[in-house]
């Protein structure tokens, strides 16, 4: 498996078709129109491809700048993200994502804004980043998270719970959305299930992570060294 970063405008129609098929295979309620709207608002795409060039996973990204409390910040907002079952053993998508973040660093603070209804995506935070919010040992929502969530999601965002509820959520299909009992021994997974009990209905937990070199875990640094 290989991962690569490319501008959203360079995604081919064949790649788009593969991406849509992956989303529809894993999520209920995904239409071509909705998928197209989400993709069109992003400016970067990370593709995971097998040796035949078939898309086996992807993540769409909107990189933008905004003001929070008078401070200029840059934000990496993750949109649709999925990895096919047969590619989950590969770290290529994660490595490409961490590499991309490293190239986007500048003097302006960079944050990752993520919403997730799946424990696997939430667990990704703890593998590669030391500090992120909310987490089991730091459950409070920082003002930066609340401000960015209100700006992006408006009335769909509940600041009391840190949850985004869309009118027509994308819901993982049966067999993919349930958290195995064996995973609840992980404090991060247990925390996700506790603070976002509506994940089975497509409720999305808003997360924020400072994207700095000092915040990378040894696992992230190891990926960059590969």
Per-residue model confidence as pLDDT tens digits over 7-61: 999 999 999 999 999 999 988 878 999 899 999 999 999 999 988 888 988 999 9
Q: Which two tokens stand for residue 74?
A: 């840059």
Give Cα 58 to chain centroid, integer Å: 10
| Sheet (strand 55-68) strand order | 2-7, 44-49, 55-68, 71-83, 110-116, 204-210, 163-164, 157-158
**Which residue's structure tokens are 């991309």?**
100
Are 89 and 67 spatial neighbours (Cβ–Cβ below 8 Å)?
no
Q: Which two tokens stand for residue 23?
A: 């989303």
What distance in Å separates the CA atoms of residue 113 and residue 193, rounded to the nearest whole number?
A: 19
Are 164 and 155 spatial neighbours (Cβ–Cβ below 8 Å)?
no
Are 131 and 77 spatial neighbours (Cβ–Cβ below 8 Å)?
no
Q: Which two tokens stand for residue 159?
A: 């600041």
What is the tens place of the pLDDT at every residue in 190-224?
A: 999 999 999 999 999 999 999 998 999 998 888 77
What is the tens place of the pLDDT at every residue in 86-141?
A: 777 788 888 898 888 888 888 899 999 999 998 988 998 999 999 999 999 998 99
226 has pLDDT over 60: no
Mode of pairing for the β-strands spanning 71-83 and 110-116: parallel
Q: How confident is the model at residue 170 (pLDDT cuts 50, 70, 90)?
A: confident
Instruction: Record the pTM.
Output: 0.91
Residue ranges of domains in the chain, CATH in brackets: 2-225 (3.40.630.30)
Helical H segments across the chain, by residue range: 13-26, 32-40, 92-103, 119-128, 143-153, 187-195, 218-225
Angle separating helix axes 119-128 and 218-225, nearest 10 degrees = 80
């Amino acid at each position: 498996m290989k991962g690569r970063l490319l501008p959203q405008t360079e995604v081919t129609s064949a790649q788009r078709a593969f991406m849509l098929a992956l989303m529809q295979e894993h999520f209920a309620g995904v239409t071509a129109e909705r998928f197209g709207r989400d993709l069109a608002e992003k400016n970067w795409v990370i593709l995971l491809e097998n040796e035949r060039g078939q898309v086996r996973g992807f993540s769409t990204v909107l990189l933008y700048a905004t003001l929070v409390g008078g401070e200029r910040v840059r934000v990496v907002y993750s949109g649709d993200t999925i990895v096919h079952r047969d590619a989950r053993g590969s770290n290529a998508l994660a490595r490409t994502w961490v590499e991309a973040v490293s190239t986007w660093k500048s003097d302006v603070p960079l944050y990752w804004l993520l919403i997730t209804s799946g424990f696997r995506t939430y667990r990704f935070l703890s593998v590669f980043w030391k500090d992120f919010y909310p987490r089991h040992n730091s459950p409070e929502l920082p003002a930066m998270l609340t401000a960015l969530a209100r700006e992006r999601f408006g009335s769909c965002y509940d600041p009391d719970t840190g949850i985004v509820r869309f009118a027509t959520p994308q819901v993982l299909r049966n067999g993919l959305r349930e958290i195995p009992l064996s995973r609840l021994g992980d404090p991060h997974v247990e925390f996700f299930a506790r603070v976002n009990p509506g994940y089975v209905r497509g409720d999305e937990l808003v997360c924020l992570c400072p994207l700095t070199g000092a915040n990378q875990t040894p696992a992230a640094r190891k990926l960059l060294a590969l």
